[in-house]
Amino acid sequence: DTAACVDTTFNLTVNDSDTGTNFVPSTLGQNPVTVAPAETVGVTLTVTGQAGAPNGATNDSSVATGADANHGAVTSNTVTTTINVGGQVDCSTFTTKQTCNAEPTCVWVNRNKVCVPN
């Protein structure tokens, strides 16, 4: 929000393209959100696939705010989630021993401080 505004509470709405068939309705980590003047607030969007959803199933998600007396309605960029069951895990994306070893197909190499395929 701009520095000229007072604290503003925004009610958020999640928009999903697929709820029920391959995905459950997406959830937000915080809703509503209150934004102080000149500040921003990050909110986590969680998208979850249904059990048995086929590989390649997609869900397009966005988050919107309603308009009020001082702010227009805004919709976020759309994010696409794709089901990839049994997909190849890229062990190099894990940067700590704890997160690396939590993935059964990866192992941490202390000497080089890297995560590699098991």
**Nearest by Cα to 91 from 75, 112, 70:** 112
Q: Read off the pTM.
A: 0.67
CA 113/CA 118 separation, integer angstroms: 15
pLDDT digits (tens, 9 = 90+) for 48-106: 999 888 888 999 999 999 888 888 899 999 999 988 777 677 888 889 998 888 888 89
Q: What's the CA gap between 74 and 79, in Å, rounded?
A: 15
**Which position has the higher pLDDT, 26 or 71?**
26
* Spatial contact of 27 and 19, defined as CB atoms under 8 Å apart: no
Q: How far is CA 10 from the centre of its chain?
A: 19
Burial 62-84 (b: 16+ CB within 10 A, else e): bbebeeeeeeeeeeeeeeebebe
